Amino acid sequence: MFKKTIVRFITIAVAIVLACYSLWWTVAYNMMSPDRKEELRTAGRLKNYEDRIIRLGLDLKGGMHVILELNLPKLLESTASNTDESFQAAVRQAEAEYIQTKADFFDIFERIAGEKNLRLARYYNKGVFKNSEIVNQLREESKDAIQRALEIIRNRVDQFGVSEPNIQRASTYRIIVELAGIQDATRARELIQSTALLEFILVKDAQITQAFITAVDNYLKTGQKEAAVKAGLTPDTTVTIKESKDKAITVDDLLGKSALTETKPAEQTTDSTVIVDEQIYAERPFSSLLRNISGSIGVPEQNVYAVKKILADSTVRRLLPFDSRLLWSAKPERMTTREGATEKFYILYHVDREASLQGKYVTKAQESYGQSGSTAANQPIVNITLNNEGAKRFSQVTGSNINKRLALVLDDKVYVAPFIRVKVPHGAAYIEGLENMDEAKGIAIVLRAGALPAPVDIIEERTIGPSLGRDSIIISTRVGIIGFCLVILFMVIYYKHSGWLANLALLLNVIFVLAILASLRATLTLPGIAGLILTVGMAVDANVLIFERIREELAKGKTVRAAVDSGYSRALSTIIDANITTLFTAIILMQFGTGPVKGFAVTLFWGILCSLFTAIFVTHTIFNYVNDRKVLSKLSI
C-alpha cells in the first residue's frame, strides 16, 4: 500500500516538474530586459524562447486579423475577353445570390447563365464551348488566383516586421491573415490588397559583390568596437561558438570563380559547420556571418537578423554601389552540412537597381517537364511566354548578358536566379535546374502573379490597439486572482482542512493548464483567460462531489479510511459522466468556433482534463498518505 503511494507521489512530482519547466520559459522571457532580448535576437537565440512561451492572441497583444476573399465576380469580368450588358447582369445576379446562400459561386453562375440562355463561349476564348466546361475552367483559374494571392501575401508580410505572422487558406476562396502588433491598419490593408510587382533583374558580377563585402568587413574592423556595439555583436556574447574543424572560410572562398559554373546549388553541401568562428569573426566581422553556397551568399537563418542590422547601418548603405541593391531570397534553402544536420539558409542577392524587364509582359507561365534531347530532358521546368513587346526586350537583355544570372523578383523578394544560357529571341523561354515539380509549380505561380492580379476583398477585419490588449491582461488577471482567492476562502470555510486539499488541486490545475498551453504552442486569448477562470470555479466541483460523498459515508458511521475510499469510488462515475459531457461541448466549440471562441474551448477542454487528474489522482493520494501514516478517528471535512 505504502509503495503504491510512493509511486503516485513520484508521478505527481514528475508532472509538477514538467509543468514548471514548461512555464519557466514564459517567466524568463517576460522578466528579460529589452536589451538582453535584442542581444539574444542578434545572436539568433531568442527564437528558442519564443517557440516555448505561452503565445498571446491578437486580442491581448494588439494586432490585426483579416479574412480575405477572392472577388469572384471581378475575376469573371476581368478574365473575359469581352463583356456586354447581359453578361454583366448575370454576374451581378450571381453575386447577389452568392452573398445570401452557402452555394458555390460557379454553380450559381452556371445555373443563371443557363436560365438566361447565355452562351459563355461568346465571352471566353478557352477552346471549349459548353457552358459547363467553361465554368469548370473558370473554377480552376480562380483556385490558381487564390494561390497567387496567398503567395503574394506570404511574400510581403515580413515587411511588417511581425514576429509570427499567421497566413493560411481558410477555405477554397479565403485567406486568413493575422499580424500581431500592427498599429497602422491602413498601411497593412494597402499592402495586402495592392497589386504585386514582378520584375526580372540582373544579378551583379561576383567581383563587385566581393568588393562590397570586403569593404564592409574593413569598415566594421576599423570601427570594430563601435560597430560591434552598434550591431549588438560583442565577441563574448556571440554565441554558438564552437571549435572550428574547418578553417576554410576565407574571403576568396566566399564568392569564388565557381559562381559561373555551378548549376545545381541544392546538391552542394555547405563548407562550414560553424556559425561564427571567433577568430574569423575578429578578422572579418561581416563575411564571417555569411556562407558560400555554390557561388551565392548564403546566410544561416540565425544570422539573418545580425546581417540585416549591419546592412541597415548608414555607412554600410553608402558602401553599396549606387546602381545596385541587395535583395533576400523569398524562401530559405535547406542544406545538409558535413555533419549531416540540416540548416536553413537565406540567400542574399546583389542585383541591379533597375529591373531589366517588368513581369507584366508575361502572358503565360506553366510548369512542365523538359523535352527529351534538351539539357533538361525529363527534368521539371517552367515555360514562360512573353507578349510581343516583352519578347523584344527580353531578346535584348538575354543577348547581351549571356552567362549572367537573371533574378526573378516578386515584391523585392528573389524566387529564383537562373543563368542566362542563350539569347531568347521570340519570347519563349524556360527555367531549368529546379529541384522538383513543386518548386516548378511555385515559380509558375509567382510568374503569373505579376501579370494576372487576383482581386481580393477584405470580408472581415479586426484590429486591437496594444493598450487595449494590455488593459485586458491586467484587468482579467486581477479579476482572476480575486475570484481564485474567494473560491479558496470559501472552500476552507466550508470544508476546513480538506478544503486546503481542494485548493491545492485548484492551484495545480491552473499551473497544469498553463503549462499545457505553453507546450502545445496554443494561443491564449481573452476568452481563453475567461475559460481558465471559469474552470477554476468548475474544477472544485469534482472535489466537492467527493467531499460530500465522504461526509455521507462518515454520517453512516464508517471509519475515516473506509469513508474516504468509498467516497472516492462512488463519486468516480458521477465525476466522469458529468465531465465527459462538458468535454463534448468543448470539442464542439473547437469544431464550430472561430478565433476567440476556439481559444475559450481549448482552455476549457484542458481545464476539465486537468481537474479530473488533480481531483481523482492528486487529492486521493494525499488522503491515502495521511491515512497510511496513522489511523484517523476524525476527519476535518
**In the complex, what is the shortest distance from the CB of residue 410 to other proteins, in angstroms, rounded to a whole number?**
25
Does 67 bind other proteins (CB under 8 A)? Our answer is yes
Among 157, 440, 526, 602, binds other proteins (CB under 8 A): 526
**In the complex, what is the shortest distance from the CB of residue 544 to other proteins, in angstroms, rounded to a whole number?**
5
Q: Which of residues 307-366 bind other proteins (CB under 8 A)?
A: none
| Owner of C-alpha cell 461541448 | 585
Distance CA 299, CA 258 (A): 18
**In the complex, what is the shortest distance from the CB of residue 465 to other proteins, in angstroms, rounded to a whole number?**
4
**In the complex, what is the shortest distance from the CB of residue 527 to other proteins, in angstroms, rounded to a whole number?**
5
Using the 8-state DSSP alphabet, how is residue 162 labeled? -
Nearer to other proteins, 136 or 476 (CB): 476
Distance CA 4, CA 625 (A): 10
Which one of the spans 2-10, 30-38, 445-453, 571-579 is the region binding other proteins (CB under 8 A)?
571-579
Element (H, E) at 65: strand 63-70
Write each residue from 580 to 599 as x if it is in contact with other proteins (CB under 8 A), else as -, in one continuous string: xxx-xxx-xx-xxxxxxx--
**In the complex, what is the shortest distance from the CB of residue 394 to other proteins, in angstroms, rounded to a whole number?**
37
Nearer to other proteins, 108 or 233 (CB): 108
Write each residue from 143 to 182 as x if it is in contact with other proteins (CB under 8 A), else as -, in one continuous string: ----------------------------------------
Q: Which of residues 531-550 bind other proteins (CB under 8 A)?
A: 533-534, 536-538, 540-541, 544-545, 548
C-alpha distances (whole Å) from 520 to each of 22, 262, 515, 603 are 10, 43, 9, 12
Nearer to other proteins, 69 or 439 (CB): 69
Collapsing DSSP to helix, strand or coil, 408 comes out as: strand
Pair 299, 343: CB distance under 8 Å: no
**In the complex, what is the shortest distance from the CB of residue 537 to other proteins, in angstroms, rounded to a whole number?**
4
Q: Which of residues 547-566 bind other proteins (CB under 8 A)?
A: 548, 551-552
Spatial strand order of the sheet with 362-369 comes to: 362-369, 380-386, 428-431
Nearer to other proteins, 133 or 548 (CB): 548
Q: Which of residues 178-237 bind other proteins (CB under 8 A)?
A: 185-186
Element (H, E) at 344: strand 342-352
Q: Which of residues 413-452 bind other proteins (CB under 8 A)?
A: none
Distance CA 204, CA 474 (A): 53
Pair 408, 443: CB distance under 8 Å: yes
Counting other chains too, the contacts that 521-524 makes at CB distance below 8 Å and 24 or more residues apart are 521/51, 521/55, 522/55, 522/599, 522/602, 523/55, 523/56, 523/57, 523/599, 524/54, 524/55, 524/56, 524/57, 524/60, 524/599, 524/603
Distance CA 170, CA 436 (A): 27
**In the complex, what is the shortest distance from the CB of residue 174 to other proteins, in angstroms, rounded to a whole number?**
9
Pair 333, 176: CB distance under 8 Å: no
Among 458, 521, 556, 629, binds other proteins (CB under 8 A): 458
**In the complex, what is the shortest distance from the CB of residue 605 to other proteins, in angstroms, rounded to a whole number?**
11
**In the complex, what is the shortest distance from the CB of residue 566 to other proteins, in angstroms, rounded to a whole number?**
12
Pair 165, 156: CB distance under 8 Å: no
Q: Which of residues 80-119 bind other proteins (CB under 8 A)?
A: 98-100, 102
Nearer to other proteins, 27 or 474 (CB): 474
Signed CA dihedral, 281, 287, 289, 293: sign only: negative
Nearer to other proteins, 71 or 238 (CB): 71
C-alpha distances (whole Å) from 156 to each of 153, 255, 406 are 5, 29, 21
Q: Which of residues 465-494 bind other proteins (CB under 8 A)?
A: 465, 467-468, 471-472, 475-476, 479-480, 482-484, 486-487, 490-491, 493-494
Pair 595, 523: CB distance under 8 Å: no
Nearer to other proteins, 69 or 432 (CB): 69
Q: Which three cell numbers stand for residue 450?
A: 505579376
Find residue 342's DSSP bridge partners.
336
Nearer to other proteins, 271 or 460 (CB): 460
Distance CA 300, CA 289 (A): 8
Nearer to other proteins, 271 or 461 (CB): 461
Nearer to other proteins, 255 or 563 (CB): 563
- Closest C-alpha among 564, 574, 576 to residue 624: 564
Find residue 296's DSSP bridge partners.
293
| Contacts for 520 with CB less than 8 Å, ≥ 6 apart | none
Nearer to other proteins, 184 or 354 (CB): 184
